Amino acid sequence: MPIDFLAASCNGTPMRFRFPTMRWQTRCFVGPTARVLKSTIYPRSEPKPVASLVVESDWILPVESPAIRGGFLVVQSGRIEYFGSELPVRYRSWPRVRLEDGVILPGLINSHCHLEFSDIESPLLAVESSDNESTTGGASMVRWLGKVMARRKALVDTGQDIAQIKKEATLRGVREAWSSATRLVVDNVTAPWSEDWLEQASSGFFADRRSEFIDALVCGPPILIRPCVELVDVNEARGKQTWNYALELMSRIDERRSQGVCQTPLGLAPHAPYTASKRLVRGALERTSHPGGLLSMHLAESPEELQWIEDREGPMKDWIEPWIDTEHAMEIGTVDEHLRLLSGSHRALIAHGNYLSDHQIKWLESYRDRMAVVYCPRTHEHFRHARHPANRLAASKIPLFLGTDSRASNPDLSVFEEWKTACRLFPELGPEYWMAACTLRPSEFFGLESSVGTLRVGSRSVLTWVPLGPASVVTQESLWDAILSAERAIPLEMVYS
Ligand SMILES: [Zn+2]
């Protein structure tokens, strides 16, 4: 959820590491999660592959294929050259490290986030609905939104530099995401914002910790951010403001076709049915129906939203009516209408979808090549929503991904924790299903299989390391349980940090 969807404006090279001349040296890395048992020194006379490495691990779990115990992962200049249970002869003279007591997984994908709120220390309280307002016994989205907006207003009133505050929050969010093994974030952005913040955030990840290990694993950005510019048109002025800002960013950034952290083309994010009219969504569609286009929209998120857009009733009525003008009021769309519009996009994300009905899920079956639902388990719990329709979506084979939403409703930005929560709440779908929901499935949906979310030969080696208990007690059968019991996930390249 955004912070200022009603407020006025607040005025607010790929990394190429030099490696070839370095020699791999025998080291004694001792960290909390892994040890190097063996490494190989290249004879000076022997030609050495550039930034190459063999990682021997207790477990390698590609998710789309069975786990490999005592496997080998071969990487070269940031790409996976080979993985398997045996090490082919041609790699046996390559530098080698052995990692113990853990598992290597694909990089994680966060399909819905608002990095700009990453400076919020703990989730804003979602106050209970009062008896005469409540429809489900859950918390009040309207009151929570009021708190989010009040927080922003307080910052503006203090005269602080909002752009600087947002920049620092975004930098913090990118770092937090990466440090918990996230490799792609779909991020709603609002003005003021800059793509330079993303590059700046990632440039300091390794600081003085560069090593041959890191250089071999990571060539290029260690995390990718796909910005979706938020659009709101509760009234004409706000509509023009957000639309013009989106156009300005698109013309500036999409031209560059950046190969850095910031992924292009930029997506668009009509905020929600109570803040973005059908007219606005139609306009956004014209910009995102082409290959690579992406729309992301909060939809069917709360009972209050449904009461407002279906019946013009409920707590949202008093809250939002003072803001909206006649033009907007005439173009408020239902969930059905917005689903139909979103289906015209090349790819569309339905953020939350907590209250999608059976007929809407049935309808989505025809568009599962281009529409996906992003479930945010801990944010869902924060608001004590009715049970998410994850089982029905899974049964209909509709793409279902995981997201964190923002720190305004979530204690951190760990996709790994979202995965654990989804496994706890929907054990019938299984840990493998949920891990695919934050790795392989969104990677395929976005066409990024060679970049993030996969553990395949030829794909980038931006991977996850999950420290487990002693390997002797972990078996094929108990591997997922061991991962579920793990305390954290980290980027593989940070295993020695
Ligand atoms: Zn959100």
pLDDT of residue 119: 94
Integer Rg of the chain from CA: 23
Q: What is the pLDDT of residue 194?
A: 95
| Distance from residue 145's CA to the centre of ligand 1 (Å) | 11
Q: How far apart are CA 399 and CA 368, in angstroms?
A: 6
Residue 72 CA to ligand 1 centre (angstroms): 39
Report residue 281 CA to chain centroid gap. 23
Question: What pLDDT digit, counting tens, does each position of 82-96 carry?
Answer: 999 999 999 999 999
The total of structural domains in the chain comes to 1
The verdict on residue 495 lying in a domain is no
Sheet holding 267-270, edge to edge: 108-113, 182-189, 224-231, 267-270, 294-299, 347-352, 371-375, 400-402
Please say whether the beta carbons of 425 and 395 come within 8 A. Answer: no
How far away, in angstroms, is 495 Cα from ligand 1 center? 31
What is the Cα–Cα distance from 135 to 459, expressed in whole angstroms? 47
Q: Which residue has the higher pLDDT, 306 or 33?
A: 306
Between 209 and 249, the more confident residue is 249
Cα of 481 from ligand 1 centre, angstroms: 30
User: Residue 164 pLDDT > 60, yes or no?
Assistant: yes
φ and ψ of 17, to 5 deg:
-90, 140
- Helices 303-311/141-157 angle, 10° precision: 100
pLDDT band of residue 130 (cuts 50, 70, 90) is: low
CA 29 to centroid of ligand 1, rounded, Å: 41
At residue 475, does pLDDT exceed 50?
yes
Q: Which residue has the higher pLDDT, 210 or 218?
A: 218
Residue 350's Cβ-side half-sphere holds a number of Cα atoms within 13 Å equal to 32
pLDDT of residue 378: 97
pLDDT reported for residue 30:
32
At 408, which amino acid appears? A
Are the C-beta atoms of 438 and 107 separated by less than 8 Å? no
Q: Is residue 171 scored above 50 in pLDDT?
A: yes
300 part of a folded domain: yes
Tokens encoding 134: 């409540």
> Is the residue at 34 inside a domain?
no
pLDDT (0 to 100) of residue 258: 61
Average pLDDT estimate for 418-432:
98
Q: Is residue 74 part of a domain?
A: no
In percent, how much of the chain has pLDDT > 90? 76
| Ligand 1 center to 254 CA (angstroms) | 23
Centroid of ligand 1 to alpha carbon of 188 (angstroms): 7
Q: Is the pLDDT of residue 470 over 50?
A: yes
Q: Which residue has the higher pLDDT, 412 or 125?
A: 412
Q: Is residue 78 part of a domain?
A: no
Among the residue ranges 11-20, 212-221, 397-406, the one predicted with the least confidence is 11-20
Q: For residues 371 and 374, what is the distance between their CA atoms, to the nearest angstrom?
A: 10
Q: Can you give the pLDDT at residue 128?
A: 66
Whether 298 is covered by a domain: the verdict is yes
Q: CA 135, 110, 98 angle in degrees (round to 5)?
A: 140
Rounded CA-CA distance 459/491 in Å is 16
- Whole-number Å distance, alpha carbon 457 to ligand 1 midpoint, is 34
Domain contains 401: yes
Q: Tell whether the model's pLDDT for residue 18 goes beyond 60.
A: no
Given a cut of 60, is residue 157 above it in pLDDT?
yes
Residue 421 Cα to ligand 1 middle (Å): 18
Tell me how far apart the alpha carbons of residues 393 and 441 are, in angstroms, rounded to a whole number. Answer: 14
Interval 238-262 mean pLDDT: 89
Give the integer Cα–Cα distance in Å for 81 and 456.
9
- d(C-alpha 371, C-alpha 398), whole Å: 8
pLDDT number for residue 328 = 94
CA of 297 to the centre of ligand 1 (A): 8
Give 323-334 pLDDT, tens digit per residue. Answer: 999 999 999 999
Could you give the residue ranges of the DSSP H alpha helices within 312-414? 315-320, 326-329, 335-342, 358-364, 377-382, 390-395
Comparing 340 with 259, the larger pLDDT belongs to 340
For residues 204-213, average pLDDT: 81
Please give the distance, rounded to the nearest whole angstrom, from the Cα atom of residue 242 to the centre of ligand 1. Answer: 17
Quickly list H helices, 126-194: 141-157, 162-179
CB atoms inside a 10 Å sphere around CB 428: 9
208 versus 265: which is more confidently predicted? 265
Q: Which residues surround ligand 1, an ion (CB under 5 A)?
A: 1, 405
Residue 7 has pLDDT above 90, yes or no: no
Q: Which two tokens stand for residue 354?
A: 């907590």
Query: How far does residue 2's CA lie from ligand 1's centre (Å)?
Result: 6
Q: How far is the CA of 462 from the centre of ligand 1 (A)?
A: 26
Reading phi first (left if > 0) and then psi (alpha if -120 to 50, else beta), residue 21 is in: alpha
As to burial, measured by CB atoms within 10 angstroms (0-12 exposed, 13-18 middle, 19+ buried), residue 28 is exposed
* pLDDT for the residue numbered 42: 36
Q: What's residue 132's pLDDT? A: 46
CA of 485 to the centre of ligand 1 (A): 28
Query: Whose structure tokens read 């909002």?
Result: 162
- Contact present, 354 and 388 (Cβ < 8 Å): yes
Q: Would the pLDDT of 259 be above 90?
A: no
pLDDT value at residue 469: 77
360 is in which domain, residue-wise?
A: 108-445
Residue 159 phi/psi, 5-degree rounding, is 80, 10
pLDDT tens-digit readout, 184-196: 999 999 999 999 9
Two tokens at 460? 């980038």
Ligand 1 centroid to Cα of residue 408, in Å, is 10
- Spacing, Cα 382 to ligand 1 middle (Å): 13
Task: For residues 205 and 133, give the distance between their C-alpha atoms in angstroms, rounded to a whole number.
Answer: 47
In this structure, what DSSP letter does residue 27 have? -
Q: Is residue 38 part of a domain?
A: no
Domain with 302 in it: what CATH number?
A: 3.20.20.140
- Cα of 405 vs centre of ligand 1, distance in Å, is 5
pLDDT at 371 over 60: yes
End-to-end CA separation in angstroms for the chain: 34
Confidence of residue 413 (pLDDT cuts 50, 70, 90): very high
Average pLDDT score over the chain: 88
Distance in Å, CA 196 to ligand 1 centroid? 23
The whole-number pLDDT of residue 29 equals: 34
